[in-house]
Amino acid sequence: MAKLSQKFHILKSFFTTTSKNLNQSQAYQILFFGSDKFSVASLKALINESKNPETFVKSIEVVVPPDKKTGRGYKEITSSHVKIFAQEHDLKIHEAPPKSLEGWKIQTPTNYDIGVVVSFGYFLTPSILESFSKGALNVHPSLLPKYRGASPIQYAILNNDKITGLTIQELHHEIFDAGKILRQITHDIPQNSTYITLESLLATKGAELLINTLRNFNYYKKNAKEQDASKITKAPKIKKEMSKIKWSQISAQQLEQLYRAISHQYPLSTKFNNKIIQLHNISLPSVSQHLLIQPGKSLEPGTIIIHYPKQLSPIVYAICADGNVITFNSVKVEGKKEVSTLDWINGYQVKSKETKFEE
């Protein structure tokens, strides 16, 4: 019994010492850089953490992009999600210049310990990074070095990935998303995820990972690892041209993935009667629906098929390059309001297997 008791005390001493090494009493002055809904989750987590009795947060200030002119005639002024959230919580806000941080300095006497950058969109210059006594961290929604770039969530959906993840990385002085990795976790991608649903999920998980990392910051910083350069893939900024449907080049599954990945930003569009038409609520038909309409490969990509179920509204399909189809339930013709497919096929005399979208 004496030997067992001695072993117990040794183990208890080990875990207590390890815990002490991980935990830290230092409180940090944090400068948070963010813009969108994804970054709001991390800022919210930091604010909540600052209310804990043994918090590592001494102070939080925020850097945001400048307000944008939006709306018809660009007469409306729109602030970023982070700026609005920071104002609601009475945080000190610094506005970044429009395009670059080159030569930019924060006019404040505060000496910040850590920079936290979450979906900010700017490259932080070496002079800014060197102003943080403890360095700067970034929450990136991918398993770096996979999907370096501005659109990791979109590309995970575009490529039909089953697993994604989150990375806490140091900021590199020269290259986007090339910093040492402090923490990394994997996460399954729920079936039929859209950008909006996956962004929300990863924002919450990323905020949790950020707080856990900062609680034990010295430990994770000391044990940070370089990225494997042989596994780098890119996730560049989504461009509007990607929303133009090329019926002869895209399969039905690829088109449905494209819709889930980018339609929140750029509605997918095609041409109809020499006008641009947006297709909304795109999905893949069920196996039974596909067998019922039997599109076959004799019809050209872009051809519309209309099925009229008994006592139900018609279902509209369009053929893709692989001979399979997608379906959609509303459209918006250029210069017109969004209407249901029923109103569209009646109003424009759309004929099944005869009417065809153009590229």
Alpha helices (H) along the chain: 2-22, 37-50, 81-88, 126-129, 152-158, 195-215, 217-222, 252-262, 287-293, 341-347
CA distance 230 to 138: 21
pLDDT of residue 291: 60
Distances (CA, A) of 208 to 15, 211, 300: 23, 5, 49
- 28-231, what's its fold? Rossmann fold (3.40.50)
- 240-348, what's its fold? Methionyl-tRNA Fmet Formyltransferase; Chain A, domain 2 (3.10.25)
pLDDT of residue 6: 45
Helix, strand counts (H, E) of the chain: 10, 16
Cβ burial 189-204 (10 Å sphere, 16+ → b, else e): beeebbbeebbebbbe
CA distance 208 to 205: 5
CA distance 161 to 261: 12
pLDDT of residue 25: 59
Structure tokens belonging to residue 223: 């044990």
Would strands 275-280 and 269-272 be described as parallel, antiparallel, or unpaired? antiparallel
Residue type, 105: K
User: Residue-wise pLDDT tens for the chain (359 aa)?
Assistant: 444 444 434 344 333 333 444 455 589 999 999 999 999 999 999 999 999 999 999 999 999 999 988 877 777 889 999 999 999 999 999 999 988 999 888 777 678 999 999 999 999 999 999 999 999 999 999 999 999 999 999 999 999 999 999 999 999 999 999 999 999 999 999 999 999 999 999 999 999 999 999 999 999 999 999 999 999 999 999 999 999 999 999 999 999 999 999 999 999 999 999 999 999 999 999 866 666 666 656 789 999 999 988 878 899 999 999 999 999 999 999 999 999 999 999 999 999 999 999 98
The domain limits of the chain are: 28-231, 240-348
